[in-house]
Amino acid sequence: MSEVIVCAQSETRDEAVQFVSNLGGRPHARSMLSSAKSLGKDQMVLVYLKGHEPSSTVRTCLRQISRKKNLNVVIYSLHSDGPRAAELGKIVGQLRPKRTHICFNSDEVGERLRLRATQGKSQAMLETMVHLDSSESVALLRKELNLTQTDMATSMDVTPRTVQNWERRQAVPGRRLRDLLELRALLSAYVGNGQLAAWMDSPNEAFRGQTPRQMIREGKTRDLILEFRRMQSGEPL
């Protein structure tokens, strides 16, 4: 069983510890304000965010962790709304762009921490917590990424009609949108305002001459995210 350092506020610490236990890890709880003490090389760290944590607390936590370059850090947020995702993307981009992953889905947390869920029922309960059931959430995400309904549908291997239904207030599993949500958070930190439309359709050497829109249509959103992670904080694309 892998050890995971869990950073959470006091009122959510027990919940965060249980979350890691359900994924098959052995959690060690820490305060978000003293998270860097006694951390060793290549340790796994989970920053567990319920949604009410002040930005200053999240910044302090990541600032401390950023001093330990060899840590593998996963930030898990139970809320995947646009403003929250964008804010997390900016904080990570400024303080710790490397070896840090933002996740809105428990399956991805398990993958990033190299854990394996052991309680299917608890896992299913966690998944329901990140479902998106707002038409505005899906439509807003698509428009903020300058995607058509066809773009979004192709990226997730569904039909345009399915995307239309999602935008008509039918429940959407957060796991289906997790890569696009993470990409949106990263774009808010790296691509300037008003430049997204041009960037989406501009061939980029970093993407082997393809445009970001082409990559998304081919289901390669994760590849885009990984390329972002390799870039230095603050550098425009």
User: Of the residues 67, 96, 130, which one is the last residue of a structural domain?
Assistant: 130
Residues 115 and 162 in one domain: no
Amino acid at 179: D
Mean pLDDT of 51-56: 85
CB burial class (10 A; 0-12, 13-18, 19+) of residue 155?
buried
CA distance 9 to 33: 9
Q: Give pTM, 2 decimals.
A: 0.53
Residues 147 and 223 in one domain: yes
Residues 153 and 74 in one domain: no
Residues 1 and 102 in one domain: yes
pLDDT score recorded for residue 228: 72
Mean pLDDT of 220-229: 80
118 has a pLDDT exceeding 50? no
pLDDT score recorded for residue 215: 92
214 has a pLDDT exceeding 80? yes
Q: Where are the beta strands (DSSP E) in the chain?
A: 3-7, 26-30, 44-49, 72-77, 100-103
pLDDT above 90 coverage of the chain, percent:
12
Least confident of 176-180, 211-215, 229-233: 229-233
Residues 84 and 196 in one domain: no
Q: What is the pLDDT confidence band of residue 232, given thresholds at 50, 70 and 90?
A: very low
Residues 9 and 116 in one domain: yes
Residues 58 and 136 in one domain: no
Residues 126 and 225 in one domain: no
- Domain range spanning residue 236? 131-237
CA distance 236 to 102: 20
CA distance 72 to 4: 10
| 37/77: higher pLDDT | 77
CB 149 within 8 A of CB 142: yes
Residues 100 and 161 in one domain: no
pLDDT score recorded for residue 148: 94
As for how many domains the chain has, the answer is 2
User: Of the residues 77, 98, 130, which one is the last residue of a structural domain?
Assistant: 130
pLDDT score recorded for residue 36: 59
CA distance 227 to 212: 11
pLDDT score recorded for residue 49: 92
pLDDT per position as a tens digit, 134-173:
445 788 888 888 999 999 999 988 899 999 888 886 666 6
pLDDT per position as a tens digit, 20-31:
888 888 898 888
pLDDT above 70 coverage of the chain, percent:
77
Q: String of b and e for 177-210 (b: at least 16 CB within 10 Å)?
A: bbbbbbbbbbbbbbbeeeebeebbeeebeebeeb
Q: What is the pLDDT confidence band of residue 33, given thresholds at 50, 70 and 90?
A: confident
132 has a pLDDT exceeding 50? no
| 108/218: higher pLDDT | 218
Mean pLDDT of 224-233: 67
Q: Which two tokens stand for residue 65?
A: 């962790």
Q: Where are the beta strands (DSSP E) in 110-233?
A: none
Residues 32 and 122 in one domain: yes
User: Of the residues 130, 146, 180, which one is the last residue of a structural domain?
Assistant: 130
Residues 116 and 11 in one domain: yes
Q: Return the residue matching tokens 């038409």.
A: 135
Q: What is the CATH number of the domain that holds 95?
A: 3.40.50.2300
Residues 94 and 165 in one domain: no
